Structure 1
């Protein structure tokens, strides 16, 4: 897994690009938490594909978030990244917030996305099944919201640190503040930015994957996405929460390989 920086024109935004593997191009768009340390999903995907995983401004070494004001800005920014990387009709895989962006890309620029895989995407709102507001949660609450196996999730999020250590927690909060500042433009107070009105425009072959034990965005949203995107397929993965790609990376890889 390697990392490099590119500069987008004409915006001048500096974007960090993580790359791994070889094979067919696969653009991976991360969720609100960014890339996981030693990301197990990227590693799994890289065993079969050439994975190109840009970080949104506000994440890692990527910068230039101040002029990204809303969903349209972020979608067009991500399409600019795709063009700068000279990716032609790649498989686009997006998790959570990244799935929301990927779906917007496929709805707006139909010919740019060859195949679409949405991993527990955000972007819809069902009154009877509200999405949990992550912006009101403390760090110790996140593992239980993101993972079916909360203890394993806690270790993964801490990446060798200790979530109970005040100094580690302070560093975690500082890093998280910048990321959530960017994510808040899309997800706060609710993640409904009108995506539901545009899903009918998606013509890319679409696979939707959901953790059966997702408590952050309940699996009923998977059925809603499937109903809204013509011809899409929904796969629910047992023993996985919202971070389905981290808990069950091989199952996600196999689902993508089988569908595309």
Structure 2
């Protein structure tokens, strides 16, 4: 899809019917949210864009921040004339979701942030870690989830994804020093769900993020790390379902 006067091209998966969810992946790429997209599409419409620069997609030079992505995805909602949308964002995707909610809350019913980044604090950069150490930081049960690429092609995609992530948020790393103060102006409902075993951004970071948003709810996902929707899919689906129903009352 062409966005922002045809200056940004976004690959978009569109599946399911019903209320619209916009699902935003983090630095691990769209494959990291594919299972959640499939499960959620059994009960709703799910739009899953691939951020420009990820999975071989082009990234124009002017698309270089979470805010730039937020503007592109708000244009997507405008072009599709979508309202009452719930954004679900993991990690870097959660930061983009928060920026969207601050820029244009009128099309949104709420945001769900899964181990999101964006505010200042301790954020581990997994890119420089060996695969085993990266998995240990990212997962409650790292033995089940290998982050080592299975082929040269997969290694190339992973390297390109890491480069794209750093292009969006290398300096300062994975946060905007102004975001925490701006979140005080948030005018949509928010749920912050956090994998209890996250070694990239810990629970204290998650609680601080939640406390930055008026009326936001916080939920711990036990036996999960940075990707709670992978390790505890059914629990995360339940949290999203409850949140979605609450926004329809």
TM-score by length of 2: 0.89
- Please say if residues 28 and 54 of structure 1, whose CA atoms lie closer than 8 Å, have aligned partners that are also in contact: yes
Alignment of 1:9-158 (within 5 A): 9-36=4-31, 39-60=34-55, 62-126=57-121, 130-154=122-146, 157=147
Matching residue of 1:3: none
Structure 1 alignment gaps of length 5 or more: 1-5, 163-167
Count of residues paired in the alignment: 242
1:107-165 Cα offsets, whole Å, 9 max, x none, are 12121322111111101222xxx2111232233433222211112111xx56xx74xxx
Checking the alignment, whether the CA contact within 8 Å between 1:146 and 1:153 is kept in structure 2 is: no
Contact 1:108-1:201 at 8 Å conserved across structures:
no
SS in 2 for 1:239: coil
| Structure 1 position 178, deviation (Å) | 2.1
Contact 2:25 2:90 survives alignment (8 Å):
yes
Residue 230 in 1 paired to residue 214 in 2?
Answer: yes
Q: Give yes or no for the alignment of 1:199 onto 2:194.
A: no
Counterpart residue number, 1:171:
153
Cα distance, 1:237 vs structure 2? 0.6
Aligned equivalents of 1:180, 1:83: Cα separation in 2: 29
Contact 2:138/2:198 (CA < 8 Å) preserved in 1? Answer: yes
Q: Give how far 1:9 is off.
A: 4.5
Q: What SS does the aligned partner of 2:11 have?
A: strand
CA contact (8 A) 2:113 2:192 kept: yes
Aligned to 1:187: 169
Matched, 1:215 2:210: no
